[in-house]
Amino acid sequence: SGLVLVKNPHLDLMEEDVLYHLDLGTKTHNLPAMFGDIKFVCVGGSPNRMRAFAQFMQRELGLAGAGEEVADICGGSDRYAMYRAGPVLSISHGMGIPSISIMLHELIKLLHHAKCRDVTIIRIGTSGGLGIEAGSVVITDTAVDSSFQPRFEQVVLDDVVVRSTELDKDLAEELLACSRDIPDFPTLIGHTMCTYDFYEGQGRLDGALCSFSSEKKLEYLRRAYDAGVRNIEMESTAFAALCGLCGLKGES
């Protein structure tokens, strides 16, 4: 049916679903009227970047008010920022798996309550490149963990639940085809490695702690490259797992 799925039977027993970190709710807001026609959701770490992206989309789509300030729909919360440009929703998710996971749980419920159909979600963000030209755009085919495996491990109570991190390969190819019309930067498809940390987790030598040598770092990064990794960031495995489980066509 193209509807966004939620896989939580407890939601049906609740009189009201409060999307706390988005400052929205099923009783306080008419979510179908506000969001029912959303077709694209673009998410990224920084609130300022996502505001600028929404303004860019207003101009590109020729919408009324293009060039003017856009309103933060989540203005009552200081956790995330959300902006709308026609059928495009632009949302910040902060840094790291815990932050994007909270936002995605509430975003997915929002799209479900709003009865949105055939939604495409794309994560736009900076990352560290691996063996590629600086300024390249990497379109993720599969998000992998620090062992180069396509999995997201989530501790649920005292169980470790492993979820798939495959992304929509047709969407990846479609985005790559679109990139051929924009010759300003090289674009490629590759694996994205997701880590739990910016410093030691990504092999950086300039953190407050460093427990490895520069030689060990380079050997690890060579193995990552040989496994197909072309960039490194901190959100993609959680993003891929949640989108896949809830029927969202996603790409990072």
Residues annotated within a binding site for phosphate: 79, 123-126
The count of other CB atoms within 10 Å of the CB of residue 14 is 10
Asked if 22 and 74 touch (Cβ cutoff 8 Å), the reply is yes
Extract the annotated binding site. 79, 123-126, 202, 204
Which long-range contacts does 169-178 make (Cβ < 8 Å, 24+ apart)? 169/141, 171/120, 171/249, 171/250, 171/251, 172/139, 172/140, 172/141, 172/251, 175/122, 175/139, 175/251, 176/139
CA pair distance 50, 46, nearest whole angstrom: 6
- Nearest 5°: CA angle at 74, between 73 and 80? 130
Residue 45 tokens, joined: 């770490």
Extract the annotated binding site for substrate. 202, 204
> How many Å is the Cα radius of gyration of the chain?
19
Residue 35 tokens, joined: 């969001």
Residue 114 tokens, joined: 């709003």
